Amino acid sequence: MSVRRNSRRSVRDTNKIELSPNRMGTLQCRRLQELFLEEDDDDDDSATDSNRVRQVEKFRLERVFCAPQIYVVDNFLSASELEYFYSYIERMQESFERSFVDASSTSDTVLDDSHRTSTFVGIPKQENKTISTIESRAANLLGCYSTETVEPLQLVRYKVGEFFGVHHDTGDYNEETGQVALPPKTVLAKRRIVTIFCYLNTLPEKAGGATMFPQCGDLRVQPKAGRAVLFPNITAEGLPDPRTVHAGEAVKKMPKKPNKSSGKAEESKKKKRKTTNSRFFSKRNPVKYGLNIWLTES
């Protein structure tokens, strides 16, 4: 979704995302309430570990912000799944296409160099066992035992200088009013309730590429291979939550370090096995790869 500075639509003009009354007792709704919609007054700096950490399924969710509740899950993707994506990236290098944003007044999508410059590849639903496993894991984490509510996964790539400006995953964010309105195309489409963004590789802070939440004290989540960040896109009232607007910060070129021992360095290079990971994620020209997982309304 995109930033819209002159939108006339108010968040109160949008349709609420209603949770069906006959589903309110389901695990899906309970998990959504427990993790995201039942906010407490604890400050994360003073919260105890027991309040900050939740164990859901086999995963340890660390709450990194309280209102809205944002979580980080390390090792959400396994080492073998990361290797799968490294091979997938190698095969699909020429298939990445420019990422787009939603037009403000139509159902069209447009390219916007001032707001989003990353590229992506869409992955068909249940393409293979690995993809199906990840879809099921995301669904189970939110208490959904069907992957019907999981959108097709999206692999994204950020090269040096590429970024995604402040945006909301459910609607159009208006910087002037600080509100989010649903775009025209969501009238018929399922809307995104929760976002799970997975990092496929690690980047040092100097390389940028963090996911930044400007309405949450400029919270930054740094890319780490296998890590996921989870956050809600709606409030307890079913309205788009403007507090979870976020940005994918630009990836930065790393400065070249002086080589004090070129002979030893060359010898080390010869001995070092050239892995898929090293081919894609050079220290000098880092690239950020991520996986978008969106869970929608039923």
Asked whether the beta carbons of 293 and 198 are under 8 A apart, the reply is: yes
More confident residue, 30 or 103: 30
Look up residue 150 and give its DSSP letter.
Answer: B
The 3-state DSSP class for residue 72 equals strand
pLDDT at 133: 98
pLDDT at 15: 52
List the one residue out of 165, 190, 34 whose CA is nearest residue 99: 165
Read off the pLDDT of each residue in 161-170 and give the average, rounded to a whole number: 94
108 pLDDT exceeds 60?
no
Q: Which range is least confidently modeled, 125-129, 131-135, 249-253, 257-261?
A: 257-261
Residue ranges covered by each domain of the chain: 11-296
274 pLDDT exceeds 50?
no
Read off the pLDDT of each residue in 66-71 and give the average, rounded to a whole number: 96
Q: Residue 111: pLDDT band by 50, 70, 90 thresholds? A: low
Amino acid identity, position 70: I
List the one residue out of 53, 4, 1, 2 whose CA is nearest residue 175: 4
H or E stretch at 267: helix 262-271
More confident residue, 1 or 115: 115
CA dihedral (228, 226, 132, 107) positive or negative = positive
List the one residue out of 154, 140, 144 whose CA is nearest residue 200: 154
Q: Write the pLDDT tens digit of every residue in 173-224.
A: 988 898 998 877 666 678 899 999 999 999 999 999 999 999 999 999 999 9
Asked whether the beta carbons of 195 and 142 are under 8 A apart, the reply is: no
Q: Write the pLDDT tens digit of every residue in 259-268.
A: 655 555 555 4
Tokens standing for residue 217:
């004290």
Between strands 70-73 and 53-56, the pairing is unpaired
Q: Residue 272: pLDDT band by 50, 70, 90 thresholds? A: very low
**68: cis peptide before it, omega within 30°?**
yes
149 pLDDT exceeds 60?
yes
Q: What is the pTM of this model?
A: 0.84
pLDDT at 80: 98
**Any residues with CB less than 8 A from the CB of 291 and at least 6 apart, and which?**
77, 85, 134, 153, 154, 155, 156, 197, 198, 200
Three-state helix/strand/coil letters over 211-232: EEECCCCCEEECCCCCCEEEEE
Tokens standing for residue 266:
């060359």
Q: Dump strand ranges (E) for the chain.
A: 53-56, 59-65, 70-73, 97-98, 101-102, 109-110, 119-122, 154-158, 164-167, 172-174, 179-181, 192-199, 211-213, 219-221, 228-232, 246-248, 288-296
pLDDT at 89: 95
More confident residue, 106 or 146: 146
pLDDT at 282: 72
pLDDT at 203: 95
Assigned CATH class of 11-296: mainly beta
**Any residues with CB less than 8 A from the CB of 161 and at least 6 apart, and which?**
117, 250, 251, 252, 253
More confident residue, 278 or 143: 143
pLDDT at 1: 46
Geometric angle at alpha carbon 130, from 125 and 131, rounded to 5°: 20
Q: Residue 279: pLDDT band by 50, 70, 90 thresholds? A: low
Rank 46-55, 94-103, 140-149, 217-226 by mean pLDDT and report only the highest: 217-226
pLDDT at 237: 87
**Helix 129-141 with 79-92: angle, nearest 10 deg:** 130
